[in-house]
Structure 1
Amino acid sequence: MAAEHPSAWPDLPPDLLATVLRRLPSLADRVRLRAVCRPWRSSASGLPPSHLHLPWLAFLDGTLLDVANNAAHRVRIPDDAVCYSAGENTLFLAHDDGRCSLVDVFSGAVTPLPELAVHLHACNVNPRYELMQPITKVVVSTSAAELEEHCRLVAVVIQNRKVIISTCGRRAAGETNNACLALDDHFGFCIADVKFFQGRIYALSKANETLAAIDLNKGRLDDLPPCCVEVVILRAASEKIEMTHEPHLHEDPWPFGHVVAGWYLVVSNNGKLLMLRRWTRKRLLSSDHYDEWIEFPDPDGYEVKRTRRFDVFEMDRRYGRWNKVHDLDGQALFVSPPCSKSAPPAGHGAREDCIYFVHQMGPRRPEDPLGDSGVYNMRDGTITRRPLMPEPAAVSASLPWRYRFPAWVFPVEIEVSNSV
């Protein structure tokens, strides 16, 4: 009689389950498959990661854009919350009542951060009115290799100067509260970017590219010494920051000069900390009257603020300096103001030695929801515009401008809670 009844779904053989996983092109579908039951999750955990494609783009209204397939998905953002990208596949939500939490965009798992919320309230942070104390960056640690078991860290940068670091995790009964560390002007400069790397948090200065670090004591924030800031890089990558013209690169003929419009910290695949400079053309304004400023147009059809090239430097802790690099050892970098990361091209279908960038420029082009985006080739200095898709059909042009600040989202094969 038992032989006449079909086997239950949880008893699906692992080899057949692997075949199903390989045929699912969407990461969201693969996460849902793992969440069906414990036997499926256990079997899937022993399988190699599925072949991933280009990272997705996240917009602040909860729109997720699968750039490889030009398909849009939505994450439900509560009406009483303001959304920030926190890196990897995580969003940071700050609610009107003071609560804050981390949300996984694919599994939907929510991690409350009550202790961090208390510190944000003490700093008078109000996400709805950001003119006084704005949140300028949120970053989550991606690896617990240098931290205590089950420890994960989240850092919130306020007004480009204050940094609040908190442990985070789902607390079971009897576990202690999250530990928080408030760094009020500890770094002593205007912060261009922050990054968790090798058990430390690194902060980069906008003024002179000084790099400072704090050893996080394996996540035991309550036991940090009172003076724990280490200056790693003492000087800028060059005495004078200027856009150079190297023989193998195409020169930009703009006669009025160039300026650095952004800095980014990225951890390379070979375990190096990189700094990227993003260059744009210098704006040229002219007017006979103070209230009639006119900006000279860009003759090649792009706005002056468009990205023109990148410089890449590698941290040299031994000599306290940045060393310029001319290739990426075959890897690809994905850069956006909220989140940047390196990836092996073979795992994402990306081009080698290239920098994929997205940067929202402003409300002047409502028909272009991706703004300033493209691929910068480190080998020949060329930029390919609109490389991600011929037309952004999946993102509506009516998306309000304040939500048009795309950030890279990096799909990972994540584990879901055992309570599912």
Structure 2
Amino acid sequence: MSTPTAAPAPRTPRFGVNYTPSRGWFHHWLDFDPDEVAADLDSVAALGLDHVRVFPLWPVFQPNRTLIRPRAVYDLVRLADAAAARGLDVGVDGLQGHLSSFDFLPAWTRTWHRRNLFTDPEVLSGQEEYLRTLAAALADRPNFLGMTVGNEIDQFSDDPHPNPDRITPAEAGAWLERMLAACEAGAPGRFHVHAEYDAAWYRDGHPFTLAHAARLGAATAVHSWVFNGTAQRHGRSGTATRHHAAYLVELSKAWADDPHRPVWLQEVGAPAPLVPPEHAAAFTEATLTAALDCEDLWGVTWWCSHDVSRDLADFPELEYSLGLLTNDRRVKPAGRALARTARQRPGRPAPRTTALVLDADDAARPPSRSACAPGGVFFEAWAALAGRGVRPAVVRAELAGDRTHLATRGIREVVTVADAR
């Protein structure tokens, strides 16, 4: 089996939303209501968006290693068909995994049946069959984009998770390749990707690496959340905060073998109180403006569609207010801001002609990812350049003198961190 390869980014960026059901959140899979789903998708389509990312709950769909519930798969297909009726494409995340501070792992991987999620042969075969089954169920739907292996499942491999299944970078890479191959086997030629949270970019020693993120799958998926120290350090309107998503896009491009590999800004949102509700629309507009100024952006998928109901307990406070729409499907200011940008259908930007040199000699495992994190010397140098009106790209030191590479990316000038500061 082969893993999916990158395809060019679309001529104009895609605009979509991570679908959070307005009734019951992702627990809606337990008592799937097609009328409620239809009403939710009507409210999403009314914003002028073109796709949704949806999240089957892994324990609901595969409660036993050898039982993938046909009714759950049927409900997923019904959701995809309802989206198609409203002109919406669908991307499906498989291994959920982790959502909004809650872990959703099947019982056959935990406690008395505890086995490493990334290396145990029986767990791997179960995951493989699950991803293949979901992909195959949707393979004949024209509006099916493809699979994401799982939502930030890398967090189960390392600190700060309270009970991680530890692995090496080689084991992480082997797991990703096997899971992507399973997706490809189920639905050949679709847009299959994987997605990590920003530990892959920022945390020293994390087993999922920048090279994994930027080289495996049909595109690089980035998740941009400014509660990671960016907004705390730079404020809600600081350059680093407004450009954080663009920074991750450009950082990812430095690690891609293909200089024009598409990058999917798969999660980005306006988290309160760091971004107060009255400033969410301005943050949304500024984030979109900066991200859309990056070449090869496949699209933006905002987190999230609808607020989490206050009837549900124990979520972190910020999770209740991230929606573009309220729990009763009224459009919020951030939703109007995203809709305005989507209607404008912005074209492709010019190349970024200045690149900041990232001193990392080992292409597979950089010596210091923390330098790229908020407060790190590279992060702050990039933000300083952006604050002066420069449109900085990122190039690894080993390629900074490669004229062919620079020309392919349109880079005419390289600057060091010392120059930028």
TM range (shorter): under 0.3
Which structure shows the bigger proportion of residues in strand conformation?
Answer: 1
TM-score (norm. length: structure 1): 0.28
Greater Rg over alpha carbons, structure? 1
TM-score (norm. length: structure 2): 0.28
Which structure shows the bigger proportion of residues in helix conformation?
Answer: 2
**Larger RCO of the pair (alpha carbons < 8 Å, separation 6+):** 2
